[in-house]
């Protein structure tokens, strides 16, 4: 048991513990404040006399950008709009966007050569577009979304 001094009313063990803890904290603060601060060093690296990167003018490509057919671009945008409508389960709005896309593809067909690869691909897109419409009428919206995504990729590869 702890010693209790009846004359002063102090518990000597507790008093000595507190006194020692205060001295310990005081010494800890003193040593941490007197510790040397970390030094900052600046290192200078010798640069070579010859630059490693040439200071030549930037190269500018003179090749023309590929010509984009605005009708095919618009048809691709309308396919994306129809996909959004189908995700929202709005079949009528999707069918309207597909009819506008159909008109854009037909305009693009009228501008292409009859025997060109683009012409044949656009004809196949029109045929697949009819399949998408039938899928929407049957209520197979997920199948229609998948098919429209592939048709949109096909249009992107054409343009």
Q: So what's the pLDDT on residue 63?
A: 73
Q: So what's the pLDDT on residue 53?
A: 57
**DSSP-derived 3-state class of residue 85:** helix
pTM for the predicted model, two decimal places: 0.57
Q: So what's the pLDDT on residue 2?
A: 53
**Residue 146: alpha-carbon gap to chain centroid:** 23
Instruction: Report the candidate in 77, 87, 71, 72 with the shortest Cα–Cα distance to residue 136.
Output: 87
- What are the extents of the domains in the chain? 1-34, 70-158
Q: So what's the pLDDT on residue 5?
A: 56
Distances (CA, A) of 36 to 31, 32, 33, 39, 120: 10, 9, 8, 9, 81
Superfamily for the 70-158 domain: IL-4 antagonist (De novo design) like domain (1.20.120.660)
Check residue 156 and give left, alpha or beta (phi > 0: left; psi -120 to 50: alpha): alpha
Which residues, 6 or more positions from 96, have their beta carbon under 8 angstroms from its beta carbon? none
b (16+ CB within 10 A) / e for 135-152: bbeeeebeebbebbeebb
Averaged over successive runs of 10 residues, the pLDDT of the chain (159 residues) comes to 57 74 82 70 71 64 74 92 94 94 91 77 91 93 93 86
**DSSP-derived 3-state class of residue 124:** helix
Distance, in Å, from the CA atom of 49 to the CA atom of 63, rounded to the nearest integer, reads 36
């Amino acid at each position: 048991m702890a010693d209790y001094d009846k004359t002063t009313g102090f518990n000597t063990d507790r008093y000595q513990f507190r006194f020692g803890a205060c001295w310990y904290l005081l010494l800890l603060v003193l040593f941490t404040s007197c510790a040397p601060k970390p030094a900052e060093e600046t290192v200078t690296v010798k640069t070579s006399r010859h630059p490693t990167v040439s200071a030549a003018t930037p190269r500018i490509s003179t090749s023309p950008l590929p010509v984009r057919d605005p009708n095919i671009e618009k048809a691709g945008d309308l396919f994306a709009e129809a996909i959004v409508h189908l995700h929202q389960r709005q079949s009528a709005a999707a069918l309207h966007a597909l009819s506008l896309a159909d008109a854009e593809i037909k305009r693009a067909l009228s501008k292409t050569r009859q025997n060109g690869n683009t012409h044949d691909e656009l004809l196949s897109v029109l045929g697949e577009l009819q399949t998408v419409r039938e899928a929407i009428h049957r209520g197979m919206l997920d199948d229609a979304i998948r098919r429209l995504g592939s048709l949109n990729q096909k249009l992107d590869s054409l343009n």
